Structure 1
């Protein structure tokens, strides 16, 4: 079971759902379900758990399982969710277009035509006070302190 849990999922080839079992005694066992989060959400996991339990109990009684029909058609839900998302995007775009309509245009500042002496030599400043990218030729906080 630990190996099943540690095994990585391959999103290109699958499988994205794996089952494993371990017999504890002659009448006790453990079922392990490993599923990638990209293919299941909380609601779907509850449906899977409910259906697996129904299959198990029906098998123990020697009966055919009675699985409930889903109350939602996934294709219809997906279409609804997509339409809802697009309508929210349109509403946000309309809001910001209206909000920014009377704002001044961005300033048109001249650009430096020549690259400076530090062009292309940026490095990450790893000091605690400033985590930003700065040109390598600009001394960092540690350099400034050591020179004073």
Structure 2
């Protein structure tokens, strides 16, 4: 997992060739003006999910993990707490849904703040728990870049 500021995302282009294309799309669009939903940037290889929501208490959120896609979760407006669960600490892997590329494992996360203007990268196999409130519920706008890294 990587956490950094959105303006420093170009440092990570070498991790996968599709990251640069996704970043250019993110920077050339006003995310706050786009309706929530999924959008294709480059077929199934690069997608973006725009979200607007209010953060909730941590116990209300499931932990999730992906196998084929890397998540680059970019906090456009607001702040949230998110959990990170490394693969070696997953207690039960959960049932994998290949159509949605998601499973809901069990384990105990470590928590960090995803501040406005920041992003985190979760590679396949790195579980994460998002939309969690810090001290109180907060309205957020987030863009999740979904980069296919495995077929």
Give me the TM-score of the superposition, normalised by structure 2: 0.22
Larger RCO: Structure 1 or Structure 2 (Cα < 8 Å, ≥ 6 residues apart)? 2
The structure with more strand, counted as a fraction of residues: 2
Q: TM-score, normalised by structure 1?
A: 0.22
Larger Rg: 1
Report the structure, 1 or 2, having the larger helix content. 1
